[in-house]
Amino acid sequence: MSQLKYILDIEGTVCPISFVKETLFPFFLKHVDSVVNTEDPSLQALLKQFPVSQDPVSLKQHIESLVNNDIKDSVLKQLQGHIWEQGYKSGEIKSPIYPDAIEFIKKHESNVYIYSSGSVKAQVLLFQNVEGGIDLTKYIAGYFDINTSGKKTEAQSYANILKSIGVAPESASDVVFISDNHLELDAANQVGVKTLLAIRPGNNPVPDAEKYTSVTDFSSL
């Protein structure tokens, strides 16, 4: 059998789900004013993609609404990546990756991929700046987001990833996707990818959780 490849979700899987809502989102919201008043051409181009008036007040209200309702908007995710980069570089943000996930990623070097609704830019920053001064990016083979591959609850997204990592459809069972979201697991299952339900402290209850093979600690894999 071919060596297994692993696709990992981030929040609720390799780090606490609270990290996003209690650290990353508030940090971004604290800097929304600077975003909507930016003179950076690349950020201005992103803002123009929002379907609202381009005045700062309207943009701020739209952005805050997206964040507060946890809308997986691709433009928002790119803006967040820009702001979080500042936080990581200043040392204000450090990623609390679970120790067992750190060891798992190192152990399966070059066979681990990341798939998150957060932008690839934000994903790389997260794994570059782990608590304890750890940089995990050298162990990770690739990153996927909703811009590169599609929504995480759609089966086609996983087919797209299989193609990107060079796995034929008939070999999909050589790939394992780990997430805390049962809708994502169902979508991956549709294209033959094996799945594991991540059970971590603070995660939301999963309906019919007994239907899924679960993992509470990656050292057991």
Annotated binding site for substrate: 116-117, 152
Annotated binding site for Mg(2+): 9, 11, 180
Alpha carbon distance 129, 166 (integer Å): 29
141 CB burial (10 A radius; 0-12, 13-18, 19+)? middle
Among 80, 82, 85, 89, which residue's Cα sits nearest to residue 41?
82
- Strands (E) located in the chain: 5-8, 112-115, 142-144, 175-179, 194-198, 214-215
Which amino acid is located at 62 in the chain?
Answer: H
Annotated binding site: 9, 11, 116-117, 152, 180
| DSSP H or E run through 81 | helix 74-90
Q: Spell out the residues 6+ positions from residue 110 whose beta carbon is closer than 8 angstroms to its own.
A: 139, 141
The sign of the dihedral angle between the CA atoms of 110, 112, 115, 116 is negative
